[in-house]
Structure formats: C-alpha cells, structure tokens
Amino acid sequence: MAERTKLYEGKAKVLFATDDPHVLVQYFKDDATAFNGVKKGSIHDKGVINNKITERLMTILSAVGIPVHFLERISEREQKIRRVEIVPVELVVRNRVAGSMAKRLGREEGEPLSRPVVEFYYKSDPLDDPLITLDHIEVFGWASTAEIAWIQQTALRINDVLLGYFASIGIHLIDYKLEFGRLSQNPATLVLADEISPDTCRLWDMKTGKRLDKDRFRRDLGDVAEAYHEVAFRMGLMNSPGM
C-alpha cells in the first residue's frame, strides 16, 4: 500500500487522498474535544465505534433515497467517501430543547418541541460557529437559495428516518448536527457529509433518560466509552452491551 497523502485533519477525523481524485478515506480518531477545542481528551475505541455507527446510519439513509458521501467501510477506523466541498453552514436539527438552545433561550433541557426545528450555524472556529439566519446565508453567499431550500427539506426527511430508527432501539434522538457538501465530481449535486454518531447527536435512553452521547464527556458524567458502546450494541454492531 502506497503512502497516503493527508488532506485534512480535524478534531475527530482525518481525510486521506486515494488514487481516485473524487474519493477520499475518512479515518476516525479516538480524540474528543468540546467547547470549540477548549476541553480535550480521548474516548476509548470511539473511532472504531463511530466509524461503524456512521456506516450503518448512512446506509439506512441512502436506502431511503438520501444522497450521502459514504461509499463503504474499509477497516475498523476507515471508510471511503466521495470527495466534497463542505457547505460552510452546519445544521442542528432539534426534536427537544437541549444544549445551546436551552442556554441561549432560557428553556428547560428535555422540553418537547411542537415540531422539529432546523437551525443554521456558520462553520467558523474563530467565530465559534455562530447561529445564523436564512437571510445571512443568502446575502453572504454561503449557499444558494436553491441549495439551502433543498438542504432544509432533506434535513427534515433525514430527521424522520433517524427519529424512527433510534426509537426502534429505545433511544430518543434529541438533536444532532448535519453537514452537507457539493460533490467534487459535480458541484451541482449536494450530499450529506461528515458523520452521524454519539459525537454529533444527543441520544437519550427512552426508559431511564440516560445520556448516551458526547454530553457525558462535555459534562464529566462518566461512563463515556460505555455509552458509545451501548449505542453500537443496540444497533447490532457490537456483541456485548458492556466492555
């Protein structure tokens, strides 16, 4: 195997080039960060688990017609993906109040929302990913009006798929982050990119309310790796619930 070219290293993942200019390898690290990199740590086998969880969820979404960047998992920590230019607008889809929404708007965590709410954030570490409006996206040209309309509509479809899937394994999907990208091979085509995992979702056990996601790391709740493992176990990706 030839030496690979590292194209990008983020907080939780690394992207490598392949022989095909339109295909990359996405490598999942165990590194965990929170509060825009202020808090740093590591979660045992997180990379392995998130690689598998992302594979499973992207495969389900693809099966119902959502275009995704995911191609195939090729090792414990790696998956092949289609190369994209990431749209600099992150989405947060919320089914209940939690996290920054609770804090910014003075609401209780866990408050149900009468319908899913899609929020947009400008992807910028120096600016700490500020909340933005559709007008901001349009006037500053971060995405076209047609793109953002498609993204918003697609996010609501994704939400129905993921809500139902997680409900089937006893988990409330509280909120999560989504990123979209324009295919390098055809920038007119948008696909779901990045990952979907306990790093990027809030997942609460339906019976106990236990948090099975990165909030255990952010808030020092303990049992961090165990929670990630539990999600993978319920998804049929691990043989045992414990570790």
Nearest to 176 by CA among 151, 204, 196: 196
Give the residue, chosen from 15, 117, 161, 237, that forms a contact with its own copies under the rule CB under 8 A.
Answer: 117
Give the residue, chosen from 11, 71, 122, 147, that forms a contact with its own copies under the rule CB under 8 A.
Answer: 122
* Residue 149 interacting with its own copies (CB under 8 A): no
Please, which residue, 175 or 230, has the CB nearer to its own copies? 175
First-last CA distance in the chain? 33
Please, which residue, 11 or 136, has the CB nearer to its own copies? 136
Give the residue, chosen from 5, 36, 75, 124, that forms a contact with its own copies under the rule CB under 8 A.
Answer: 124
* Residue 132 interacting with its own copies (CB under 8 A): yes
* Residue 139 interacting with its own copies (CB under 8 A): yes
Work out how close the CB of 94 gets to its own copies at its nearest, in angstroms, rounded to a whole number: 9
Work out how close the CB of 106 gets to its own copies at its nearest, in angstroms, rounded to a whole number: 5
Please, which residue, 117 or 169, has the CB nearer to its own copies? 117
Work out how close the CB of 104 gets to its own copies at its nearest, in angstroms, rounded to a whole number: 5
Token digits of residue 14: 């690394």
Over the window 63 to 102, marking each residue x when it contacts its own copies by CB under 8 A and - when it does not, the resulting string is ----------------------------------------
Give the residue, chosen from 10, 21, 130, 241, that forms a contact with its own copies under the rule CB under 8 A.
Answer: 130
Please, which residue, 51 or 95, has the CB nearer to its own copies? 95
Residue 238 vs residues 16, 74, 195: alpha-carbon distances, Å: 27, 17, 19
Give the residue, chosen from 17, 71, 118, 237, that forms a contact with its own copies under the rule CB under 8 A.
Answer: 118
Token digits of residue 76: 């414990």
* Residue 145 interacting with its own copies (CB under 8 A): no
* Residue 140 interacting with its own copies (CB under 8 A): yes
Count of residues that interact with its own copies, criterion CB under 8 A: 24
Centre a 10 Å sphere on the Cβ of residue 99 and count the other Cβ atoms it contains.
Answer: 15
User: 179: Cβ–Cβ under 8 A, 6 or more apart, which residues?
Assistant: 86, 87, 90, 91, 123, 192, 193, 194
* Residue 136 interacting with its own copies (CB under 8 A): yes
Q: Which residues bind its own copies (CB under 8 A)?
A: 104-107, 113-115, 117-120, 122, 124, 126-127, 130-136, 139-140
